[in-house]
């Protein structure tokens, strides 16, 4: 929040650069603000998304002057801070996730060359005098851990340096530069009444027109031009390749290696082996999978999908879930998923479904058995859906190709739901009166 101030001065706030390791073990650098006036610490949603942080739900309210509620937070996460260029010390803390902490800090470039008392100091933020975004706010919950107690003061209208375990941070008035705006509170105003009124008008607004990206337009064009109704009554669609039938590189050796790693696990668990074999056998019996012809095994226009399983003993229907990993990289660094258009999101929000369900007196629900597998893939594209399998380790390993829409491919949700929409369109006159 920015407020008017008649005092002609600029005030420097304590910033520091910190390293945080993401869930994928990648190190990212962010700018943090040390604020002992806050009881808790915060992180921006954009920062949390970049780090792929696990989140927990909570309920907390952020108050400003006079107890005014300015924000409500409902998600918390955990991070570990480390200094630039060092792996230690590591400082763990819990942070609340908010959309924004404050505007760029400082508000304008500050000349620091005349501050002799700061010469040769190891600063926690070497860019303290350049306006930049604040990704993290470190409150009083962690400040005592960071501060060392050291202090170096300068002349009047010069900042004071405070020692931290990450280096020196600077704070205080810095120049007599004329300004009529100072940052007095580092929160984004979001009063509860304003928030409620905004939500009300959003609910009353007509649905926004959905604008498709170029990739989504291409996926739609491929779908509409390729979908066919088979004699069996089922539909057949093409894989939405970005480039027609690409050569992706060697995926065979990687998929074969992972299959060899899967077999010992199946051998150790008789029940798991039976369930996995039953799953593959069901694929074969329903003609959702077929053997790769011997004369077609060495074509470069193919992709081998590694597969593994996830056990879900608490599930009432699918206790064993076989996962097809179409994101596995080939020797060229590509995968099947990187070569496909994903298509636009067709799944409706659960709130919309529940709201619509409450309109009617009676509600019918149903589940389409093996929904994805009811839609076939064109014969010319099935070479990109190959897998390895054998029912017994004494037998040779066979090559198969999946014949239907495959979960694990990035385009599968779009293909399945788009086919349902297509069916509703061509048979709408019959479905309307049901």
DSSP 358-396: TTSS-------TTTGGGEEEPGGGGGGGEEEE-SSTTSP
CA atoms of 234 and 160, how far apart (whole Å)? 74
The four Cα atoms 83, 85, 86, 87 give a dihedral, to 10 degrees, of 90
CA atoms of 386 and 251, how far apart (whole Å)? 10
- Higher pLDDT residue, 184 or 331? 331
pLDDT digits (tens, 9 = 90+) for 416-430: 999 999 998 887 666
Tell me 25's DSSP state: S
Confidence of residue 181 (pLDDT cuts 50, 70, 90): very low
Q: Is the pTM of this model over 0.85?
A: no
Element spanning 413, H or E = helix 412-426
Contact 8, 24 (CB under 8 A): no
Q: What is the mean pLDDT of residues 335-350?
A: 91
Residue 403 has pLDDT above 90, yes or no: yes
Span of 100-109, 225-234, 274-283 with lowest mean pLDDT: 100-109
CA atoms of 22 and 32, how far apart (whole Å)? 16
Q: What is the mean pLDDT of residues 236-251?
A: 94
pLDDT for the residue 113: 67
Query: Mean pLDDT of all residues in the chain?
Result: 85
Cα→Cα distances 30→16, 19, 46, Å: 8, 6, 11
Dihedral sign, Cα of residue 192, residue 194, residue 199, residue 204:
positive
Produce one character per residue of 141-180: b if its CB has 16 or more CB atoms within 10 Å, e if not. Answer: ebbeebbeeeeeebeeebbbbbbbebbbbbbbebbeeeee
Cα→Cα distances 162→13, 119, 169, Å: 12, 14, 5
Confidence of residue 102 (pLDDT cuts 50, 70, 90): confident
The token duo for 185 is: 């509170």
Confidence of residue 343 (pLDDT cuts 50, 70, 90): very high
The token duo for 139 is: 């409150």
Peptide bond into 106 cis (omega under 30): yes
Question: What are phi and psi for residue 220, nearest 5 degrees?
Answer: -65, -40
pLDDT digits (tens, 9 = 90+) for 192-242: 566 666 766 666 666 655 678 899 999 999 999 999 999 999 999 999 999
Element spanning 290, H or E = strand 289-291
Residues 6+ apart with CB under 8 A from 355: none
pLDDT digits (tens, 9 = 90+) for 117-153: 888 888 889 888 888 899 999 999 898 989 998 999 8
Tell me 334's DSSP state: -
């Amino acid at each position: 929040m920015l407020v008017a101030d008649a005092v002609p001065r600029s005030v420097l706030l304590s910033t520091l650069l910190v390293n945080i390791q993401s869930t994928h073990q990648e190190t990212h650098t962010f700018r943090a603000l040390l604020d002992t006036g806050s009881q808790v610490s915060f992180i921006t949603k954009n920062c949390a998304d970049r780090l792929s942080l696990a989140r927990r739900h909570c309920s907390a309210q952020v108050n400003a002057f006079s107890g005014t509620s300015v924000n409500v937070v409902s998600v918390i996460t955990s991070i570990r801070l480390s200094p630039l260029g060092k792996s230690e010390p590591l400082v763990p803390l819990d942070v609340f996730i908010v959309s924004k902490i404050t505007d760029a800090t400082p508000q304008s470039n500050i000349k620091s060359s005349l501050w002799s008392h700061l010469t040769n100091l190891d600063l926690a933020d070497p860019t303290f005098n350049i306006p930049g975004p604040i990704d993290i706010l470190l409150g009083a919950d962690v400040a005592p851990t960071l501060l060392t107690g050291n202090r170096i003061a300068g002349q009047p209208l010069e900042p004071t340096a405070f020692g931290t375990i990450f280096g020196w941070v600077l704070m205080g008035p810095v120049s007599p530069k004329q300004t009529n705006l100072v940052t007095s509170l580092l929160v984004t105003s979001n009063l509860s009444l304003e928030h409620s009124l905004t939500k009300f008008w959003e609910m009353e607004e007509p649905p926004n027109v959905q604008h498709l990206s170029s990739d989504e337009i291409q996926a739609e064009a491929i779908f509409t031009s390729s979908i066919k109704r088979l004699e069996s009554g089922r539909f057949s669609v093409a894989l939405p390749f970005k480039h027609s039938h690409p050569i992706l590189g060697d995926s065979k050796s990687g998929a074969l290696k992972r299959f060899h790693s899967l077999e010992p696990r199946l051998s150790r668990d008789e029940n798991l082996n039976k369930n996995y074999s039953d799953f593959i056998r069901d694929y074969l019996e329903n003609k959702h999978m077929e053997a790769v012809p011997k004369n077609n095994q060495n074509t470069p226009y193919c992709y081998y999908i590694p597969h593994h399983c996830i056990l879900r003993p608490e599930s009432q229907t699918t206790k064993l879930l076989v996962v097809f990993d179409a994101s596995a990289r080939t020797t060229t660094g590509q995968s099947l998923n990187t070569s496909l258009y994903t298509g636009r999101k067709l799944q409706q929000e659960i709130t919309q479904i529940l709201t619509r369900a409450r309109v009617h007196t009676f509600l019918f629900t149903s589940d389409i058995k093996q929904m994805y597998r009811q839609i076939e893939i064109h014969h010319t594209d099935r070479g990109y859906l190959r897998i390895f399998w054998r029912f017994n380790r004494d037998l040779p390993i066979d090559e198969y190709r999946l014949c239907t829409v495959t979960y694990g491919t990035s385009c599968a949700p779009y293909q399945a739901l788009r086919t349902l929409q297509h069916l509703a369109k061509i048979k709408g006159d019959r479905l309307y009166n049901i």
